Amino acid sequence: MSAQIISGKEVSAQVRERLKKDVEQMKLQDPNFRPGLVVLQVGDRDDSNLYISMKMKAAAEIGINATHLRLPKTATEDEVLHSIREVNENSSVHGLIVQLPLDSIHKIDTEKVTNAVAPEKDVDGLTSINAGKLSRGDLGDCFIPCTPNGCMELIRQTGVSVAGKRAVVIGRSKIVGAPMHDLLLWSHATVTTCHSKTVDLAGEVGKADILVVGIGKAEMVKGDWIKKGAVVIDCGINHIPDESKPSGKRVVGDVHFASAKEQAGFITPVPGGVGPMTVAMLMANTVLSAKRFLEGHQPGRWNISYTTLNLQKPVPSDIVISRSCVPKPIDRLAREVGLLSDEVELYGKTKAKVQLHIIKRLQKQPDGKYVVVTGITPTPLGEGKSTTTIGLVQALGAHMKLNVFACVRQPSQGPTFGIKGGAAGGGYSQVIPMEEFNLHLTGDIHAITAANNLVAAAIDARIFHESTQSDKALYNRLVPLSGEQRKFSPIQINRLKKLGIEKTDPSALTDEEITRFARLDIDPSSITWQRVLDTNDRFLRKITIGQSPTEKGYTREAQFDITVASEIMAVLALTSSLEDMRQRLAKMVVATSCSGEPITTEDLGVSGALTVLMKDAIKPNLMQTLEGTPVFVHAGPFANIAHGNSSILADKIALRLVGPEGFVVTEAGFGADIGMEKFFNIKCRYSGLRPHVVVLVATVRALKMHGGGPTVTAGMPLPKEYVEENLELLEKGCSNMRKQIENAQHFGVPVVVAVNAFKTDTEAELDLICDMAKAAGAFDAVRCFHWAEGGAGAVALGQAVQRACEAPSNFKFLYDLDLPIADKIRIIAQKIYGADDIQLLPDAQHKVELYTKQGFGSLPICMAKTHLSLSHEADKKGVPRGFILPIRDIRASVGAGFLYPLVGTMPTIPGLPTRPCFYDIDLDPETDQVNGLF
């Protein structure tokens, strides 16, 4: 009786149908996801092209996104390896095949090339790592080579159990014979491998219940060698002469089929047996790789290690603590929190940037819990918001084992070298390395400085050129001849459209249109754009520019701001994408024309260049805390002139990475009346995000100051009232905390008060603050010792925040954007500051009328006010009453998306004190270590 034919075509069709359903299931899980396969070919061999076309066709049928990457015959080994590395780093590719043989005119080490494929993408199963795992029986943690895997599938189709059977494999190649031996062995067969040196090959074959042949010799195995009823799998593909065929040859296997089928119980034909299964199993491995990828990269499923602190008493200096902790390599931290290798750009070993395309990958993922840290009205020393933010995330992560990200601002170098020092947190709650954090980081602030000053240069250059040229000459230079013709740039087309000129041919403009296009006619007195510098330099607060004779008498008064006060910094913090940033940069208003029209960077023709300068700065920076929890450091807008919050992009990415049970803790600059109010009314409007909890940081010393305590001066010892118990003074000062709790409640969000404890605080003082906070409506109030104890000292705060996230929340904005400008300012002044009313001084009243006319009246309000008092007077502590808030002027940050009223006099570039911090800063030339920074 003839053997039953095992059709590879039928079995492979079943496999492909199963794989199609698997791919559809993955798409249900993530509609944007598709398994990705790359077939890398060197040269142009006809047989390779045939095999690749079969693979590409099968991939398309199943739903795999397959790419044929063809390198020329001239490709060198290095070029092939480079291509492999690029595919290894591409997270959208789950399988990589190197089509063999490599058809190059250069010598290429095939072993080196195949082993360069990442093991997790080696769907051919040819790397030494996958082969080693297979040989040791780790079948669930490797890829099985496709031909042996297909053979096993064909054997399973017979219904014959492999366990306990005698199996013979003829051939010991790395592609078929050796892995086939391992597969049969780990399926509990007794396996003999035969090869060219085997004595009595026919005798060995005759013992086989299962025979797999892959020796590469046409019809070598004869029927009378085969045991009656055996399963015969023929992997051979050989060509022998056959004059009856048009080609003069036909394909046969390694087994003499006609005689073997009379002996065997089951047998595979050639062709139509193992061949189709090889392709099918390649697809199966690709789908398996994609499944593993999805399972291993589910947002919120972290595999993170934490760093154990070695707490010292007394607490050493910040820099000593920072250096006592060795940071994890940043690429390792990135992997731990679910970032893929091609989503991360390393900047050394301790910091990295995250690519924005991660947003698309995570777009269907639910957000985590969103927490904003703010504070009571602070002393000039600050009350530890940054330290509390870091302590809280260390508690939630390292001690409560929850996924958590901190999102904080990048500090300006002005205060770092001035009087304040760094802003990386403090004690055992820090971002590390703190030198990296405070000095340059990845150059974002320098990019903003360059972009900002390019705009400033463009403004004055344009005024100069317009004043020295006729309309025609100006137009001819703006649209110069190139190859005997003039052509508008894309940015000039945008200006034409804005002017309502629907023409693209420069020669078609009328004289009147040429004048309107070429002349911005900037009113020099209306220029609101200043140059910037990330240094405290008081002598740049008012300068005169244009003193050189080459400027032909064009001089004007100007000034510098500190870089973090630049509108471009505010744009960076509030943007949601590269395209959105491009639009915001284009909308920035820098001046007004003599006819009252707003002049934008798009009008100046510089907005595209600004986007180029900012293309890397838009990517959030990844760092870590002392205890190994992740931190995004991104943007640092001035909390007076701008909104004082880190970037929307960092928050959004972090919220998706932590998963629905995780936490993102961000910090709002200055007290709740400034940073928190702007966080809600500006940042939350543009982000669409809704916070779950407000953490309000309070300290004994600040509340005593609000109770009438003496002046606190940075760099001077604290008066005795602040280091000795004084419950009466403290209780009186708690009025400020009550007001800030009330301010948070205006937005409908639960408040947890974090009492940042200092060593001089007494038990009675800490208890009093907690009791009064709860009485004022706080969800909870807890003591925190994170400065001295790290995350362990903020576990109570973490638990309170976790509970508060489950409490009812009814978030709402403070005002409607459609209200008149003055009404929006009045609502903030009355509800948040406690003012009786506002007073619009003449400049402010003029700006209200101008901005309303120009169409900017519906923008949110970003108050520029002292952070040292709820009122406009820094020395008025507690909760001032009965005051009128004077609005000196109003300015527009149209690109960022807000108007900022100026309350009193606001310096926009700080000055250096008599003894700046830079006296202590130096570099050790032996160790390359920065000393004296903290």
Identify the three-state secondary structure at position 45.
coil
Return the amino acid letter for 104: S
Distance CA(283)–CA(295), nearest Å, equals: 18
For the chain, give the number of residues: 934
- CA-based nearest residue to 326, from 630, 633, 629, 627: 627
> Which residues, at least 6 apart from 237, have a Cβ–Cβ distance to it below 8 Å?
251, 253, 270, 271, 275
Q: Is the peptide bond before 101 cis (omega within 30 degrees of 0)?
A: yes
Which single residue is written with the structure tokens 């940037």? 353
Instruction: Say whether 245 is catalytic.
Output: no
- CA-based nearest residue to 697, from 400, 378, 370: 378
Concatenating the DSSP letter of every residue in 900-930 gives EEE-S---SS----SS-GGGG-EEETTTTEE
Phi, psi of 624 (to 5 degrees): -150, 160
Token output for 215: 């020796």
Distance CA(178)–CA(169), nearest Å, equals: 9
Beta bridge partners of 562: 533
Identify the three-state secondary structure at position 568.
helix
Identify the three-state secondary structure at position 615.
coil
**Residue 293 and residue 90 in contact, taking contact as beta carbons nearer than 8 Å:** no
- CA-based nearest residue to 471, from 506, 511, 504: 511
| Phi-psi domain of 880 (left: phi exceeds 0; alpha: psi -120 through 50; beta: other) | beta
**Residue 590 and residue 604 in contact, taking contact as beta carbons nearer than 8 Å:** yes
Beta bridge partners of 593: 522
- Residue tagged active-site, from 9, 27, 55, 732: 55
CA distances from 748 to 336, 370, 462, 808, 810 (A): 35, 14, 49, 9, 5
In this structure, the number of other CB atoms found within 10 A of the CB of residue 362 comes to 20
Concatenating the DSSP letter of every residue in 443-494 gives SHHHHHHHHHHHHHHHHHHHHHHHHHS-HHHHHHHHS-EETTEE---HHHHH
Secondary structure element (H or E) that encloses residue 371, with its range: strand 369-375
- CA-based nearest residue to 738, from 764, 777, 706, 701: 777
∠ Cα 590 591 592 (to 5°): 145
Distance CA(180)–CA(696), nearest Å, equals: 65
Provide the terminal-to-terminal Cα distance of the chain, rounded to the nearest Å: 90
> Mind telling me the catalytic residues?
55
